Structure 1
């Protein structure tokens, strides 16, 4: 038996603004939706289901526990340039980490954080 990633699910307050951020700034595309309650967005093999939950604890209030995803890419520096040009909430420029990844944390306007990273080739 094996598991494969299908989707990350985020509780958000402002569905329209969050969808716009994922589509216009981070380069995702809209997929299925359920009127004003749910919107799924996709980019490459990553799917994020955004659910409007006006009474949920804000992600920004979770501190270090508001990371929800680690996304591998083959060009984190190119992705950084793309995100900066579009106005993404890039928390730090890509930097090499001792565990073998070049990482760039990015936030959403509501405070969810995700890590975009590129494996550092072995020397």
Structure 2
């Protein structure tokens, strides 16, 4: 079932991290209701999530679905995923997730490379780091302008 109710808008190419979950509906609820991802699309196949797209309000997103060990070669063990999510509101997010009882695995702190960040584990055991680091600028001439 597609739960996207907004007008279709073309996206720029990007990298989409993917993960699988034993309880995909529960993980989706945690990532949307607790963390703050947007539920863009959820396609179900019976009692399983065949595909879900969750967007991060500040840009980017992830895709996930129900764990299926028979979907080789693309079977990803739940709880083995890790991601860094960029946010300009890291302190607010830390306070909100702490208050919601999220499992904090690294307290908020300033890093020597200029980021302020912290990390949590979701109910499946995946690790999520949230911080202000947007990456270093690309070296001149390395961006593909053929589009």
Q: 1:11 maps to which residue? A: 20
Q: 1:34 aligns with which of 43, 57, 65?
A: 43
Q: 2:113 maps to which residue? A: 99
Look at both structures and tell me which one has the larger radius of gyration over its CA atoms.
2
The number of residue pairs the alignment matches comes to: 112
CA-atom RMSD in angstroms: 2.1
* Structure ranking higher in strand proportion: 1
Structure with the greater relative contact order (CA < 8 A, sep ≥ 6): 1 or 2? 1
TM score, norm. by length of structure 1: 0.76
Distance 2:113 2:13 in 1: 24
Q: Aligned-pair distance for 1:86?
A: 2.1
Deviation track 1:37-95 (CA, whole Å, cap 9, x = no partner) reads 222112211311111123256344x4xxx42x222222211110011122222212211
SS at match of 2:123: coil
Equivalence map 1:1-123=2 (5 Å): 5-35=14-44, 36-44=49-57, 45-55=59-69, 56=75, 58-60=77-79, 62=80, 66-67=81-82, 69-119=83-133
Point out where structure 2 has 5 or more consecutive residues left out of the alignment. Answer: 1-11, 70-74, 134-147
Point out where structure 1 has 5 or more consecutive residues left out of the alignment. Answer: none
* Structure ranking higher in helix proportion: 1
TM score, norm. by length of structure 2: 0.65
